[in-house]
Structure 1
Amino acid sequence: MTKKITLFLQILFLTTLISCNSGNKEATTYFGGKIINPKTNHVILYSMDKVIDTFLLNTENKFIGKVNIVNEGLYYFIHGDENQHIYLEPEDSLMLRLNTWDFDESLVFAGKGAERNNILVDCFLENEKERKFFYKFNKSESNVFKGKVDSLMLIKLDTYNDYVRNHPEETSDFNEILKITLTYPTFARIEKYPMIYAKYSENGSFPDMDTSFYDYRNDIQINKGHLMYYPPYSQYIRNYLYNETYALGHAPMKSEYSSKFTLDLMHTIDKKITSKNSKNAFLKQTVISHFYNKSSCTINYEAFDAFFKLSTNDKDLKLIKNLVSDSKAVVMSEKLPDFKITDYTNAKHSISEIIKYKSAFLFFWSPEFVSENYMASRFKYLSKTYPNIKFIEIKIDGDKNDRIKNLDIKTQFYLDEKSDAHHFLSSKMPRSILIDKNGKVINGFASISSYNLHPFLKKLDKK
């Protein structure tokens, strides 16, 4: 299962990057590598949500730097709009090589610490393959599904035991991470199984399950706050919390969550999660994602009030208060207040003139929350599917030298600091506003990724 790296690659790669440091006996940790087809000129290394260091690429698209690592553990690096986790120990000299055109599949490591990181990447890639494997089994009865899960789990545990047996030098902390990386994605699928089954079943009900279906939970610890940023762990916890909330008696929900479900989920988070940072993160994710999934400026005040009572993160509280205020600033069935936008020749335009007598979709965005690649893909699809709608992308924090290169420049604008649009964009979060030919708002807070957006677009496209 471990990705094989040829001896030639290891020697060539390490020689070109760290040979100059071979005589240094000081206990130093190095992180470096080569990026093929780079998206930006740098790589950023994080621990949790804290930036450890930023490494600039040289003319050969290589980077290397000393890293101040006191404790071993999970870190992650970002290049462009892609990221991947790595496990670092003091005195490692971890070197990576990747091609951004095939980011995860091309990622390989060499140097001290390479083996453990290569197997973590392999686990990630195997997990991606298993999505297709489980697609049909999610529709099976619980005994069939559980049989497949049990067989898969035996394979994963064999992989784990084989690695630990052959790498006695690995620490117990890394072995724990490896076991989580191997097994938690499968546990996450078990937690989500009832919801997916109900989605595809003829009567829309949950499956009948044996009392032993969730026995594995006896060995799960759900309050490892230091793993809240690690996808295999955080995705499992999220699915578990949803499943526990459904167990309170909620019927399966297909398109959007009811106000009562959202409220109960937030109280489940408060009850089950003891880590303050993890609890705040899950509360924030819940209130925002459910609001966006609904794709309407209608506010579920009970859920927002619960968030304000349960969250202890001042930054999150301010963000959500601004989000609520923004939703109230644009009124359904009324004309959108006029404001100025700036094109990429630095010319200013009135939005009312740009969309005059046209059905329009205005998307306000910030690179902090939306990747440019996703936007380009999404808007190409939407504009093709709904040809009678004028799609306009407006960057909230403007930079005339930074547009989306894969979209028509004539539909791209940005806001200067004086634009009146900032009155309803105080949260800086992405926002879609749908306008009919009469200039009236038919949806004041849609999400480009929500399934619930399409009924509004179909209606607007026909007018």
Structure 2
Amino acid sequence: MIKYLFRFFLLITITFLFSCNSNSKNTTTYFGGKIINPKSNYVILYSMEKVVDTFFLNKKNKFIGKIKNAREGLYYFKHGVENQYIYIEPNDSLMLRLNSWDFDESLVFVGKGAERNNVLIDCFIEGEKDGKMFYAYNKLNPTNFQKKTDSLLNLKLKTYNNYLANHTEETSGYKSFLKVALTYPIYARIEKYPIAHSKYTKNKEFPNTNANFYKHRKFVDINNDTLMYYYPYSKYISNFLYNTTYSLGHKPMVNEYSSKFTIDLLNTTNNKINSSASKDAILKQTVIEHFYKKSNCDVNEKVFDEYFKLSQNKQDKDHLKKLLDDSKYVLKNEKIFDFIITDFDNQEHSIKRVIKGKNAFLFFWNPEHSSPLYISSRMNYLNRKFPEIEFIIIKTNHSNNDKLKKLNIKTQYYINKESKANNFLTSKMPRAIIINKKGIVTNGYASISSNKIFKQLKELAKD
């Protein structure tokens, strides 16, 4: 298989890519390859959250691009709904080949910079396999769990040392990153162990751990801005912050978090994370995630007040203010007011007429904040599970583009700029409104990502 891949890349004539002069002050880095079964006609390269460039596929589904004066460090590329990380150095000539039907497992690199990135893909795939083992590990007592993680970490460090011994030319930046890629997924599992253990053993108390259980905390770096967009690193930070907050005296929580816990988590983040940019991003993510987990319009404003006090990002605060205001606009136990929705034949309809005499679930979405693939999958599942409920999907960006694939077009609508629905959709965030046959709102801000949605729809279906 590997030999075939190398022959393939020779056929696409990349010899010229290796003529870059590494001693030149102005560097040119090449990034390209071939996508089998492409999901779109382009690949986007990011540095953190900033787009570096967009590379379009040709008729043979190949692409090639130049990056002038690329900085060394972590990047990621996106194709369709999938993405993967790469580590780029100036003058690299990095070529990839992947099949979008088996994105990560099929991904392989050749060219200058390929070996270090193939190792990172191996780290990712091994990490996925390791994750499955932790389903069993999490049921172990702390002593046996620690034995398993210590053994696994020793294997990761052996891999790390063997690679460095055979690749003495690697930069200090890559060495540090490789160590993170190998070890932080394990550290994240250690931080998650108390809550995972209580969940799987159905214990209402956390297990007792000794001081040595979190020995990794002595040398981990929780304030590396350049890694905050690297999932294994950000997952560790998240698990660490939650675990630290639980240690303040909170009991295990599963379906939703108490307002007291959320406020404590916001303050833990404020105290532990130094970078204002990373801190503000985590604070906002926490409030949004916990808001949607509750899946209702009964909002405890103390959480938002604490967030507004701690965050320094005015744009984020304005956005969360709109979310809070939206939640107050359509209230439980009140009749739904009328507004206009438009079908994809551009015919306008009164929402009251569309749902008259029906148990209805109105889902509002915007491509800016929602994944079409996730929405289609989730809504189809809910529709099959509750066939007696009328599911209406309404796009909120005033456009008749972006129909959701694999969903009945007759249940899809959008709102125009004049619709009164805009009054409760100012944040552009997804929301669902549950309405019974009498036109009474039973939930003004439901969430399709919350586990509570099943109970809410089951109760509606009884009417």
Task: Report the TM range for the smaller structure's normalisation.
Answer: over 0.9
Give, in angstroms, the shift of residue 298 of structure 1: 1.3
Provide closer, same or farther for how the CA distance between residues 14 and 51 of structure 1 changes in structure 2, counting only shifts above 3 A.
Answer: farther
Matched, 1:231 2:231: yes
Q: CA RMSD in A?
A: 1.5
For 1:340, give the aligned amino acid: I
Which residue of structure 1 lines up, in the alignment, with residue 448 of structure 2?
Answer: 448
Report matched runs for 1:153-172 at 5 Å: 153-172=153-172
Report matched runs for 1:125-274 at 5 Å: 125-274=125-274
Looking at structure 2, the residues matched to 237 and 202 of structure 1 have their Cα atoms a distance apart, in angstroms, of: 25
Give, in angstroms, the shift of residue 23 of structure 1: 5.5
> Cα deviations across residues 278-312 of structure 1 (Å, max 9, x unaligned)?
10011001000000001111112111011111111
Q: Determine if contact 1:139/1:200 at 8 Å carries over to the other structure.
A: yes
Q: 1:6 aligns with which of 2, 13, 29?
A: 2
Matched, 1:65 2:65: yes
Q: Determine if contact 1:17/1:32 at 8 Å carries over to the other structure.
A: no
Q: Determine if contact 1:14/1:111 at 8 Å carries over to the other structure.
A: no
Q: Determine if contact 1:256/1:293 at 8 Å carries over to the other structure.
A: yes
> Cα deviations across residues 248-304 of structure 1 (Å, max 9, x unaligned)?
111111211111000000000000000111100110010000000011111121110
Matched, 1:287 2:287: yes
> Cα deviations across residues 24-63 of structure 1 (Å, max 9, x unaligned)?
6573101111112222221111111111111111111111
Looking at structure 2, the residues matched to 222 and 154 of structure 1 have their Cα atoms a distance apart, in angstroms, of: 22
For 1:207, give the aligned amino acid: P
Matched, 1:46 2:78: no
Looking at structure 2, the residues matched to 341 and 11 of structure 1 have their Cα atoms a distance apart, in angstroms, of: 55
Give, in angstroms, the shift of residue 68 of structure 1: 2.7
Looking at structure 2, the residues matched to 289 and 351 of structure 1 have their Cα atoms a distance apart, in angstroms, of: 29
Between stretches 230-239 and 396-405, larger displacement belongs to 396-405
Provide closer, same or farther for how the CA distance between residues 292 and 202 of structure 1 changes in structure 2, counting only shifts above 3 A.
Answer: closer
Which residue of structure 2 lines up, in the alignment, with residue 427 of structure 1?
Answer: 427
What is the TM-score normalised by the length of structure 1? 0.96
SS of the equivalent of 2:96 reads strand
Which residue of structure 2 lines up, in the alignment, with residue 90 of structure 1?
Answer: 90
Aligned residues between the structures: 459
Which residue of structure 2 lines up, in the alignment, with residue 412 of structure 1?
Answer: 412
Which residue of structure 1 lines up, in the alignment, with residue 348 of structure 2?
Answer: 348
For 2:9, give the aligned amino acid: F
Give, in angstroms, the shift of residue 19 of structure 1: 4.1
Q: Determine if contact 2:262/2:290 at 8 Å carries over to the other structure.
A: yes
Q: Determine if contact 2:187/2:236 at 8 Å carries over to the other structure.
A: yes
Q: Determine if contact 2:394/2:412 at 8 Å carries over to the other structure.
A: yes
Looking at structure 2, the residues matched to 263 and 135 of structure 1 have their Cα atoms a distance apart, in angstroms, of: 30
Between stretches 20-29 and 83-92, larger displacement belongs to 20-29
SS of the equivalent of 2:115 reads helix
SS of the equivalent of 2:136 reads helix
For 2:184, give the aligned amino acid: Y
For 1:260, give the aligned amino acid: K
Give, in angstroms, the shift of residue 16 of structure 1: 1.2
Give, in angstroms, the shift of residue 399 of structure 1: 3.4
Looking at structure 1, the residues matched to 210 and 168 of structure 2 have their Cα atoms a distance apart, in angstroms, of: 39
Looking at structure 2, the residues matched to 94 and 349 of structure 1 have their Cα atoms a distance apart, in angstroms, of: 53
Q: Determine if contact 2:48/2:226 at 8 Å carries over to the other structure.
A: yes
Q: Determine if contact 1:14/1:110 at 8 Å carries over to the other structure.
A: no
Give, in angstroms, the shift of residue 354 of structure 1: 1.1
Looking at structure 2, the residues matched to 344 and 268 of structure 1 have their Cα atoms a distance apart, in angstroms, of: 47
Provide closer, same or farther for how the CA distance between residues 160 and 21 of structure 1 changes in structure 2, counting only shifts above 3 A.
Answer: closer
> Cα deviations across residues 408-442 of structure 1 (Å, max 9, x unaligned)?
11111112222211111111011111111111111
Q: Determine if contact 1:396/1:414 at 8 Å carries over to the other structure.
A: yes
Q: Determine if contact 2:44/2:77 at 8 Å carries over to the other structure.
A: yes
Looking at structure 1, the residues matched to 446 and 165 of structure 2 have their Cα atoms a distance apart, in angstroms, of: 52
Give, in angstroms, the shift of residue 11 of structure 1: 4.0
Which residue of structure 2 lines up, in the alignment, with residue 56 of structure 1?
Answer: 56
Matched, 1:18 2:9: no
Looking at structure 2, the residues matched to 252 and 17 of structure 1 have their Cα atoms a distance apart, in angstroms, of: 57
Q: Determine if contact 2:29/2:70 at 8 Å carries over to the other structure.
A: no
Provide closer, same or farther for how the CA distance between residues 450 and 14 of structure 1 changes in structure 2, counting only shifts above 3 A.
Answer: farther
Provide closer, same or farther for how the CA distance between residues 138 and 23 of structure 1 changes in structure 2, counting only shifts above 3 A.
Answer: closer
Uncovered stretches (5+) of structure 1, i.e. residues with no partner = none
Which residue of structure 2 lines up, in the alignment, with residue 390 of structure 1?
Answer: 390
Looking at structure 2, the residues matched to 202 and 403 of structure 1 have their Cα atoms a distance apart, in angstroms, of: 43
What is the TM-score normalised by the length of structure 2? 0.96
